[in-house]
Structure 1
Amino acid sequence: MYDTSWDDDRPTLSAEPRNETYLSQTYRNSNFSNRGNQRSSRGRGRGSRVINREPNQNNWRDENHEIIRVPSKLVGKIIGRGGSQIEELQTRSSAKIQVTKETVDDETIVKIFGNDSQILRAKELINEVIKEEPRRSESVKTVTQAINTTIDSKPSTGPFNWFKFVKECDALQDEEWSKVPPIIKNFYEEHPEVTAMTDEDVSEFLKNSNNIVVDRTFKTENSKKIPKPVITFEHAFHNYPEVLEEIRKAGFEKPSPIQSQAWPVLLSGEDLIGIAQTGTGKTLAFLLPALIHIDGQTIPRTERGGPAVLIMAPTRELALQIDKEVKKYYYRGITSVCVYGGGDRKQQVRVVTEGVDIVIATPGRMNDLCEAGHLNVKSVTYVVLDEADRMLDMGFEPQIRKVMYSLRPTRQSVMTSATWPPGVRRLAQSYMHDPIQIYVGSLDLAATHTVTQVIRMIDEKDKETELMEFARNLGPDEKLIVFCGTKAQADYLSVELSMNRIPCAALHGNRDQCDRERAVADIGDGTVKILIATDLASRGLDIDDITHVLNYDFPKNIEEYVHRVGRTGRAGKTGESISYFTRKDWGQAAELIKILEEADQFVPEELYDMANRFEAMKEKREKEGQFMNNRGGGRKFGGRRW
């Protein structure tokens, strides 16, 4: 995939003098014999193509052509998937287009062969391809028009100064954003009791609150002092009695560890990265400051032209769950809408068009509405990337970057994550301003300590029998989520349980949206006590009274194991996780042992044996690979020489 995050930088092509001779070319199917230059099609697959050249013509590389330069990062747009785009360009222009391997100053040399009209047509088509861009806010469109004027005034020959061009683009964009009203971010007044806390008091509180660690992610000399944590709800919202009343109605007793530190940070207008295990109150940590932020802006809500808060989530279930959480708290008539693929698009468009304060969206549907012009993100001043690590795992980084690039640079940004992988760090560096990072517990991968983790060493053929026995003995007040590795396995187990008169629901990506919502509702209200699911349900799904999680198929990576375990033992309650571990899972044994030992859980002796055998196998294969490489031979199999 090629980086198109700088879509406003609309390039043109620089050209060099061309020769005078001409060669026409066409593509023919491989089973067509060319006069004067026949090629055998033996050994070619169906649909393969060869070039048909006129008799007595020299090679086309020596004939009439023109050389242009294209930014290397945009070459992929010209080629297309499997060469489909460049083939279409050649068909439409009747010219031959050759993308060379030669580069000059981050630009790739492209040669176009044909007569004058064909070359001109090919250049026009290439320009159209690399200038294509999604629809965006009016301010950015204005910048694009100004850039086009700048480009059109440039001479068509000679190298193009891309560094100057990008600088001009940034300046024009800054000028456009400077015309919008400023954002008010700071709504925090420190409570006298918080002010009276000494550094020792703060350190002691953070240590006792599940070992909270707070610091600037990318420290600079100009970084401001980090606000002290709050101990009670009154410390954070003493100036906002309506918020305190909504918290009282919800029945909370005291802030969770991440809320204690996140609220003063966000109310102060700082960017925040919150890293904590699932079920620790991250949603409420960014939601209540968002409500105050919306109401505190200078422009009336009816005149903003779009939402003030944007929350992006990786799955429909998590987006709907956040929307449900938002609707629990009434604050000065603030409204929200959840937009996601599979939902009623017309209804979503209608609500967004009529006006709404908070948009909760999955990245795909978010981009869909932006490109169609239904959603104006120019008005967004507070943006949240919830479960950012999961969104990157699911391949949503391009969609996230498109949206973030369209937002005003001075926005307040929040990112939540259960882990801190390089991709999340890279995203934070790109779109956050001197963020404060709060993590609860440890940055090392760890499962929640309120869950008892049980590892069952078992043969593959015995798993179904064990599951049926466990399901039959489930208590009247117990609920179970069974995680499977595939959608087919989830469907199979749900059918088998139903055939055994054990009510259950199934949740995976191939089910219709209404069925997915019904499955979550049924397990939530107790209609069924068993949910069979894929990893779609491993992150963000918040059902407080899940007592057991059963890993029928052990996950492919240890991060997913941690998130699955986190579906139980939420909101301070205890839970139990049972994992069926077979011989084929031995590659995960070493990492699983670390998770179990960190949480003071029992580790089966056979699990240690599996880890040792797997490590010995790896060392043996590495030595064999080195031996064969040193001999300079060996048959390559599966990426390794044997």
Structure 2
Amino acid sequence: MKGFNNFQNRSNNNHQGYGGGYHSGRQNHGNNSGYHNNNNSSTLGKNLNPVDWTNVKLVPFEKNFYKEHDDIRKLSSKEVKEIRDKHKITILGGDNIPNPVELINKIGFPDYVLKSLRNNNIVSPTPIQIQGWPIALSGKDMIGKAETGSGKTLAFILPAFVHILAQPSLKHGDGPIVLVLAPTRELAEQIRQECIKFSVESKIKNSCAYGGVPKGGQIYALRQGVHILIGCPGRLIDLLEQNATNLRRVTYLVLDEADKMLDMGFEMQIRKIVEQIRPDRQTLMWSATWPKEVQALARDLCKDQPIHVNVGSLTLTACRRIKQEIYLIEVIHLLLCN
């Protein structure tokens, strides 16, 4: 590829809708991260057969919804550079990159998204949203590198809403349209809460799939039908092997904190999951670091040449706004306690 180096708590009231098969099975309990790290982890996914997509007639779908505002289209190269420099936005790769948009009313979001932003008192985009929203709305593959707490969740969730409502309605037996993979149950729940908060106007349904809790509630939610599934790889594979859901309708794939998922040993599971998703999907990867393992995964998952966006330091690893406190305890006190 040119320019890229050839590059889960039970169901809640938000779970309503359509379809999804159900096969009951043994409940599994894991740790709070939703990470399968047991003796059977090496066999996880062995019953998932890869799909030969060359023999599947794919139904066309729409993924480019971006209508550039006249004022944005008229920006000169110098003005575009000034905006990116001001917000510390660096483009590390990709072609035909949409211009950054600093004003929400010029992004081109439909009214229901704009209303949800107003209802949540969001009046201006963050740097990653300034560049990420136009890219995601354009249907392009994207690699985003930004701090935790930078607004990156909304950078992929709001375009996902637009994507979902442009697709045919879910039918009985359909799986989700949007799949978000996350390394931990905590992150998955954070993403889900953002989905709930901003989907009041659009009525988009979501659910989580992660370990550490019984599967029954998750299976029930999937059976009811969801537009967005946010999951940790281990539990998701478990549910796929039980035919609790399928990924045939997924056309918008997000990997959040991809580097952390690889650090936790999820690469094989991620690849098995993605084999179940049509190759002409839109893929968005988010990573705080850019090691060679993440680069290799990006090369394989992004079928189109991705636009690589960095916000802030090119060597960032975590949000600088996180406050750490260190307490010093004298050794004599420790000895007395013992």
Q: Under a length normalisation based on structure 1, what TM-score does the superposition of the two structures give?
A: 0.43
Q: How does 1:102-113 map to 2 (within 5 A)?
A: none
Residue from 168, 177, 184 that aligns with 1:308? 177
Alignment match, 1:232: 103
Match of residue 417 from structure 1: 287
Deviation per CA, 1:266-314, whole angstroms, max 9, x where unpaired?
A: 10000011101111000000000000000112x2223671110000110
Q: Which residue of 1 aligns with 2:192?
A: 323
SS in 1 for 2:202: coil
Deviation at 1:338, TM superposition (A): 0.8
Query: How far apart, in 2, do the equivalents of 1:306 and 1:249 lie?
Result: 30
- State the AA in 2 paired with 1:313: A
Tell me by how many angstroms 1:422 deviates: 1.3
Match of 1:366 in 2: 236
- In structure 2, what is the Cα distance between the partners aligned to 1:324 and 1:188? 26
- The 1-side partners of 2:179 and 2:237 are apart by 12
Shift of 1:234: 1.0
The equivalent residue for 1:336 is 206
Within a 5 Å distance, the mapping from 1:475-554 to structure 2 comes to none
Q: What are the superposed Cα offsets for residues 116-169 of structure 1, whole Å, 9 maximum, x if unpaired?
A: xxxxxxxxxxxxx9xx941358xx3xx5xxxxxxxxxxxxxxxxxxxxxxxxxx
Give the direction of change, closer, same or farther, for the CA distance of 1:332–1:450 in structure 2 (3 Å limit). closer
User: Could you report, residue by residue, the CA deviation over 1:44-89 in whole angstroms, capped at 9, with x for unpaired residues?
Assistant: xxxxxxxxxxxxxxxxxxxxxxxxxxxxxxxxxxxxx9xxxxxxxx
For residues 231-252 of structure 1, the C-alpha deviation after alignment (integer angstroms, 9 at most, x for no partner) is 11111135x0111000000101
Query: Does 1 or 2 have the higher relative contact order (CA < 8 Å, sep 6+)?
Result: 2
SS in 2 for 1:302: coil
Matched residue count: 292
- Between the aligned partners of 2:308 and 2:139, the Cα distance in structure 1 is 14
What residue number does 1:193 align with? 71
The equivalences for 1:33-48 within 5 A come to none
Q: Larger C-alpha radius of gyration, 1 or 2?
A: 1
For 2:270, give the aligned amino acid.
I
Q: Distance in 1 between matches of 2:317 and 2:301?
A: 27
Q: Which of 62, 84, 93 does residue 216 from structure 1 map onto?
A: 93
Question: What is the aligned partner in structure 2 of residue 244 from structure 1?
Answer: 114
Residues 312 and 362 in structure 1, CA contact (< 8 A), matched pair in contact too: yes
Once the two structures are superposed, what CA deviation does each residue of 1:209-228 show, in whole Å capped at 9, x if it has no partner?
1x1101425xxxxxx41100
The correspondence of residues 603-642 of structure 1 with structure 2, limited to 5 A, is: none
C-alpha separation in 2, matches of 1:234 and 1:199: 22
Q: Are the counterparts in 1 of residues 48 and 272 from structure 2 also a CA contact under 8 Å? A: no
Which whole-Å CA distance do the structure 2 matches of 1:416 and 1:136 have between them? 27
TM-superposed deviation, 1:183 = 1.9
Select the residue among 434, 444, 451 that pairs with 2:305: 434
Structure 1, gaps ≥5 residues long: 1-80, 82-128, 144-172, 218-223, 466-495, 497-642
Contact 1:271 1:436 in 2 (8 A): yes
For the residues of structure 2 that align with 1:434 and 1:259, how far apart are their CA atoms? 20
Q: 3-state DSSP class of the match of 1:439?
A: strand
Question: What SS is found at the alignment partner of 1:273?
Answer: strand
What secondary structure, in the 3-state scheme, does the structure 1 residue paired with 2:229 have?
A: strand
**Cα deviation 1:338-387 (Å, max 9, x = unaligned):** 11112231111111122111101011110001111111111111011111
Of the candidates 159, 163, 188, which is equivalent to residue 289 of structure 1?
A: 159
- Which of 383, 405, 411 is the aligned partner of 2:253? 383
Offset of residue 333 of structure 1: 2.1
**Aligned residue identity for 2:165:** D
CA-to-aligned-CA distance 1:493-539 (integer Å, 9 cap, x gap): xxx9xxxxxxxxxxxxxxxxxxxxxxxxxxxxxxxxxxxxxxxxxxx
Q: Please give the secondary structure, in 2, of the residue aligned with 1:360.
A: strand
Deviation at 1:254, TM superposition (A): 0.7
Per the alignment, residue 479 of structure 1 pairs with: none
Cα distance in structure 2, aligned partners of 1:435 and 1:381: 16
- Which residue identity is paired with 2:91? V
Structure 1 residues 232 and 408 mapped into 2: Cα distance closer, same or farther (>3 Å)? same
Cα distance in structure 2, aligned partners of 1:371 and 1:302: 21
Deviation at 1:461, TM superposition (A): 3.3
CA contact (8 A) 1:185 1:267 kept: yes
1:443 is aligned to 314
* 2:130 is equivalent to residue 260 of structure 1: yes
**2:75 partner SS:** coil
2:106 counterpart letter in structure 1: H
- How far apart are the structure 1 equivalents of 2:263 and 2:333? 29
Distance change in 2, residues 1:324/1:182 (3 Å) = same
Q: Which residue does 1:484 correspond to in 2? A: none
Verify the 8 A CA contact 2:288 2:317 in the aligned structure 1.
no
1:175 pairs with 2:55: yes
CA distance in 1 between partners of 2:135 and 2:334 (Å): 49
Q: What's the CA shift for 1:449? A: 5.1
Pair 1:402-2:272 in alignment: yes
- Where 1:188 maps in the other structure, the secondary structure is coil
1:135 aligned to 2:15? no
Give me the whole-angstrom Cα distance separating, in 2, the residues matched to 1:232 and 1:434.
27
Please name the residue that 2:12 is paired with.
none
Asked if 2 retains the 8 angstrom alpha-carbon contact of 1:237 and 1:243, the reply is no
2:323 & 2:114 partners in 1: Cα distance? 35
Contact 2:251 2:281 (C-alpha < 8 Å) held by counterparts = yes
3-state DSSP of counterpart to 1:266: helix
Aligned to 1:328, what secondary structure does the other structure show?
helix
- Describe the SS at the equivalent of 1:327: helix
Identify the residue that residue 18 of structure 1 maps to in structure 2: none
1:349 aligns with 2:219: yes
Q: Measure the CA separation in 2 of the matches of 1:356 and 1:452.
A: 37
- Kindly indicate which of the two structures has a greater share of residues assigned to helix: 1
8 Å CA contact 2:115, 2:201 repeated in 1: no
Query: Structure 1 CA distance, aligned partners of 2:317 and 2:225?
Result: 42
Equivalent residue of 2:82, what SS? helix
The C-alpha deviation readout for 1:384-434, integer Å capped at 9, x for no partner, is 111111111111111111001111000000111111111111110111021
Name the aligned partner's letter for residue 200 of structure 1. Answer: K
Q: Pick closer, same or farther for the CA change 1:361–1:464 going to 2, 3 Å.
A: farther
RMSD: 2.6
